[in-house]
Amino acid sequence: MATSIEHMTVFELSRWFALMDCVNIISEECTDRRINFEKEIDLKSLHIRKYINSTSDIFANQHEREQSRISRKRLRLLRQ
């Protein structure tokens, strides 16, 4: 496992992004429902894992598209 973002694979990055997205969604729902995130919610690791597994490909695809866009932009700049 990589110790810094610079050394992470796309797979590792996408799973971390999926986890952050999951936590943000839970936090927003708690705020909307006026639930104390730290005291009143019972997080289920299986549900979180399922969310990560189902969305990490989406984040990986977004990362790949962004890297492709950056590469094209660099090529255009080099040609000028």
State pLDDT tens for residues 5-60.
788 888 898 999 999 999 999 989 999 999 887 777 888 899 999 999 999 999 99
Evaluate whether residue 21 is within a structural domain: yes
Q: How far is CA 20 from CA 16, 17, 33, 68, 78, in A?
A: 6, 5, 20, 23, 36
Evaluate whether residue 3 is within a structural domain: no
- Number of residues that this document lists for the chain: 80
* pLDDT score, position 36: 87
Q: Which domain holds residue 70?
A: 8-79
Evaluate whether residue 27 is within a structural domain: yes
Evaluate whether residue 1 is within a structural domain: no
Evaluate whether residue 18 is within a structural domain: yes
Q: Tell me the whole-structure pTM to 2 decimals.
A: 0.73
Evaluate whether residue 34 is within a structural domain: yes
Evaluate whether residue 2 is within a structural domain: no
Buried b (16+ CB within 10 A) or exposed e, 51-70: bbeebbeebbeeeeeeeeee
Number of domains in the chain: 1
